[in-house]
Structure 1
């Protein structure tokens, strides 16, 4: 998990800044207990427990939301997260090792038209220091920028791995 944190900070420092803007993170900033990623997928026209799968990854834990609320585009996800087993953490701790630098450049909260055509959506939230951002992303690749295809694929892969 230390490797995850180091790569996350390094990637954001190197790729998340524009010369004309203040950096999103300063290289010497230390990881805080309140830093996390929330990710998952959701579908509105679906039946069953796996229709909404939202997880929270922090330095020492992987938790699953037990509320299974459909994400709201107006505010970050409000979940009730319960820790999963350490085995699940081991399966996922190295999967989100790359900072989603391309998504940090996207100012819109909604990318594409998530779940509009019954294709479902991906939720991604990023909290590092004072920076907290979230996105609802279309699962249909032709509706989203090429630069975030790998993030959507990785989130889907992680959810599949956790649900095994």
Structure 2
């Protein structure tokens, strides 16, 4: 009888932990941090663009590739509307995203550039890097919305 109670308790505990780590519908109160960006290895000028979306705050850091030491890193900030944030969060499926491999295809192998999306919820963090212009299976809407925000803040002045 005691082993049965132990197993039942374990299942309840495991089920509770899993559901608390991956909420069904994200809101800004969940504290999801989204990082996204692009890079190009064979590029002149600012070649690496990293964006961090934390709530409605959007930060861009742009830097040259490692070959160009005469350019300095630039950082600037912007905001997105609460409505845009809610729309973006509505496209996030953490369970699907976290199952993706860290690298899809061969990003920037043929000088085509690379993109990445990283999602962090508490201590859970996962980054997926893929060929520029491609997408992440199951997260196409998220990738499209992030691209829209990257275009809106495409460089630091």
Q: Same fold (TM over 0.5)?
A: yes
- Structure 1 position 116 matched with structure 2 position 109: yes
Q: Distance in 2 between matches of 1:130 and 1:119?
A: 32
CA distance in 1 between partners of 2:35 and 2:148 (Å): 15
Corresponding residue of 2:6: none
| TM-score normalized with structure 1 length | 0.59
1:104 aligns with 2:98: yes
CA distance in 2, matches of 1:43, 1:66: 12
Which of the pair has more CA radius of gyration?
2
Larger RCO: 1 or 2 (CA < 8 Å, sep 6+): 1
Aligned to 1:160: 151
Question: Structure 1, unaligned stretches of length 5 or more?
Answer: 1-18, 71-79
Q: Which runs of 5+ in 2 are unaligned?
A: 1-14, 67-72
Does residue 138 of the first structure (1) align with residue 151 of the second (2)?
A: no
Whose strand proportion is higher, 1 or 2? 2
Residue 46 of structure 1 pairs with residue 39 of structure 2 = no
Distance 2:88 2:74 in 1: 18
Size of the aligned set, in residue pairs, is 128
Per the normalisation by structure 2, the TM-score is: 0.62
Moved beyond 4 Å, runs of 4+: 66-70, 80-83
Q: Secondary structure at the match of 1:158?
A: helix
